[in-house]
């Protein structure tokens, strides 16, 4: 089921049938270089399960991003996170290596900002590894501004945020 559509992309709920593509995305060391480690196939299944729970509980989560033609691009969406003890809605995105540098993350994340605004969400954040300059550029392009640095699970992160 399509949740959002842009000029070039379609965002839809993840399903168990997406495991091969999600495992390839989340298991790619280059895509996941700013995380603790790439995810195993079992961890990718848990990622899908977590997002399915998010859809049921919150009406949103990370969605599969596909081209209008149906090619897998990555994932993008909204999830609840805790930042400095406060619950915040984060916009997040991962794009498969061969699809990077095409503006897909910005296009998908822009659609997610509009979705959040329509759902009455007033503030969005993006929690980003300080070395991940590309992700920070996406955050700025969608209207977020650097707000602060935080330490989560022993790792420094930068928080971009905006009232939407």
The number of CA neighbours under 13 Å toward the Cβ of 96 is 16
pTM of the model: 0.96
Which structural domain range is residue 136 located in?
Answer: 2-163
> Where does the chain show beta strands of DSSP type E?
2-5, 9-12, 62-67, 72-83, 86-95, 123-128, 145-152, 155-163
pLDDT in tens, 144-161: 999 999 998 788 999 999
**Residue 105: its pLDDT value, please?**
98
Structure tokens belonging to residue 3: 């949740």
**Residue 154: its pLDDT value, please?**
85
- Angle between helix axes 41-58 and 19-26 (nearest 10 degrees) is 110
Instruction: Look up the CATH number of the domain holding residue 126.
Output: 3.40.630.30
As a whole number of angstroms, the distance between CA 136 and CA 152 comes to: 17
As a whole number of angstroms, the distance between CA 137 and CA 129 comes to: 12
**Is a pLDDT exceeding 90 seen at residue 141?**
yes
Number of domains observed in the structure of the chain: 1
**Residue 152: its pLDDT value, please?**
84
As a whole number of angstroms, the distance between CA 28 and CA 114 comes to: 29
pLDDT in tens, 90-136: 999 999 999 999 999 999 999 999 999 999 999 999 999 999 999 99
As a whole number of angstroms, the distance between CA 81 and CA 83 comes to: 6
pLDDT in tens, 12-68: 999 999 999 999 999 999 999 999 999 999 999 999 999 999 999 999 999 999 999
């Amino acid at each position: 089921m399509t949740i959002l559509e842009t000029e070039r992309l379609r965002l839809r709920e993840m399903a168990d049938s997406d495991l091969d593509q999600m495992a390839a995305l989340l298991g790619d060391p280059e895509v996941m270089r700013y995380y603790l480690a790439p995810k195993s196939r079992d961890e990718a299944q848990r990622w899908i399960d977590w997002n399915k729970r998010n859809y049921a509980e919150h009406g949103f989560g990370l969605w599969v991003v596909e081209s209008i033609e149906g090619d897998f691009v990555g994932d993008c969406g909204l999830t609840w996170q805790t930042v400095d003890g406060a619950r915040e809605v984060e916009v997040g995105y991962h794009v498969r290596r061969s699809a990077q540098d095409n503006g897909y993350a910005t296009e998908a994340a822009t659609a997610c900002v509009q979705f959040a605004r329509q759902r009455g969400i007033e503030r969005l954040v993006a929690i980003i590894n300080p070395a991940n300059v590309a992700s920070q550029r996406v955050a700025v392009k969608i209207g977020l501004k650097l707000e602060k640095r935080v330490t989560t699970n022993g790792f420094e992160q930068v928080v971009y945020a905006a009232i939407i």
